[in-house]
C-alpha cells in the first residue's frame, strides 16, 4: 500500500530545507546536466538542469526531485514563455485514436529535454530492480514545471502513473480541452500547490497556459504578490494543507 508523506515534507526535502526547519529527511544531491541555449538564436548561454532519483525501501517508492531556480541562467529560462511544440503522438482514448500535439513553455521544456534521458535511465534501472515500486515526483518553483513534464514522460514511456507533488507551481503546458483531458490520465494523484498570494503560481501570465490539477491555498492579497520571498517560500508550513 502506498504511504504518502505529509505534503509539507515533500517541499522541505526537494528544496533542501530552504527555510532551515531542520525537518529534512535527507540531503538531496542534485545531478547537473549542462546544455546551451541560444538567445535570439544568436547568443549562446550556458545553462544547467538539475535532477535526482532514489529509492525508499520503507515506502517502496522511487522518488524523482527537480531543483528550483538557482542562478542567472535559470532566471533567463524562467522568462522564455514562448509556446514551443513539445511531443506529438497518437492517444488511444475511448476506443478512438486521437492525435495529441503537446505544447509547452519554451524555456522550461528545453531544460527538461536536456535531462530527460538521464532521468528515465535512472528510473528504469530502479524499476528493473523494484518493478512494483510506486513513483513520486516532487519539486518547487522552476522545478515544478520539470516535474509536470516528467509526470507525462514517465507515464508515456513506462505506463506507470506517478504521484505528483509540486509547490509554488508554474503553468508549463499550453493547450485546450483534449490536452488537459490527456494529461489528467498521466498521474495517479496530483497536487500542484500554489498559494493565491504567490506570484510565481501565475507564471506565465498568458492565456492558454496551465498546470496539471492546480490546488490553490490561502487567501489572495494583491500586495503580497510583490513579496515572493515570503509567499513563495511558505510551503513547508503543515497548517497550509488543512482540508486538502
How high is the pLDDT of residue 81? Answer: 52
Which of 16-20, 67-71, 114-118, 172-176 is the least confident region?
67-71
The model's confidence at residue 44, banded by pLDDT at 50, 70 and 90, is confident
Q: Is the pLDDT of residue 221 over 90?
A: yes
Sketch out the chain's domains with CATH numbers: 7-241 (3.40.50.1820)
Question: pTM of the prediction?
Answer: 0.93
Q: Is the pLDDT of residue 93 over 90?
A: no
Question: How many percent of the chain have pLDDT more than 90?
Answer: 78
What is the C-alpha to C-alpha distance for residues 25 and 5, in angstroms, rounded to an integer? 11
The overall average pLDDT reported for the chain is: 91
Say if CB 46 and CB 73 are below 8 A apart: yes
Of 241, 14, 243, 55, nearest to 144 by C-alpha is 14
Beta strands across the sheet bearing 61-66: 31-39, 43-56, 61-66, 134-140, 163-167, 189-195, 214-217
The model's confidence at residue 136, banded by pLDDT at 50, 70 and 90, is very high
Amino acid at each position: 500500500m502506498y504511504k504518502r508523506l505529509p505534503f509539507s515534507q515533500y517541499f522541505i526535502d526537494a528544496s533542501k530545507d530552504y527555510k532551515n526547519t531542520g525537518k529534512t529527511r535527507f540531503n538531496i544531491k542534485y545531478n547537473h546536466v549542462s546544455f546551451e541555449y541560444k538567445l535570439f538564436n544568436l547568443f549562446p548561454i550556458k545553462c544547467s538542469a538539475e535532477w535526482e532519483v532514489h529509492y525508499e525501501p520503507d515506502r517502496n517508492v522511487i522518488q524523482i526531485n527537480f531543483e528550483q531556480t538557482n542562478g542567472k541562467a535559470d532566471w533567463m529560462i524562467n522568462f522564455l514563455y514562448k509556446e514551443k511544440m513539445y511531443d506529438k503522438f497518437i492517444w488511444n482514448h475511448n476506443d478512438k485514436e486521437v492525435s495529441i500535439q503537446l505544447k509547452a513553455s519554451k524555456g522550461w521544456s528545453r531544460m527538461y529535454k536536456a535531462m530527460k534521458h538521464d532521468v528515465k535511465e535512472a528510473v528504469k534501472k530502479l524499476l528493473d530492480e523494484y518493478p512494483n515500486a510506486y513513483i513520486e515526483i516532487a519539486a518547487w518553483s522552476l522545478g515544478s514545471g520539470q516535474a509536470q513534464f516528467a509526470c507525462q514522460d514517465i507515464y508515456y514511456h513506462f505506463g506507470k502513473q506517478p504521484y505528483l507533488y509540486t509547490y509554488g507551481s508554474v503553468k508549463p503546458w499550453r493547450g485546450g480541452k483534449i490536452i488537459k483531458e490527456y494529461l489528467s490520465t498521466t498521474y495517479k494523484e496530483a497536487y500542484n500547490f500554489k498559494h493565491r498570494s504567490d506570484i510565481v503560481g501565475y507564471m506565465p501570465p498568458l492565456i492558454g497556459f496551465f498546470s496539471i490539477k492546480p490546488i490553490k491555498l490561502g487567501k489572495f492579497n494583491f500586495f503580497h504578490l510583490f513579496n515572493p520571498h515570503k509567499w513563495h517560500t511558505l510551503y513547508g508550513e503543515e497548517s497550509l494543507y488543512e482540508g486538502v
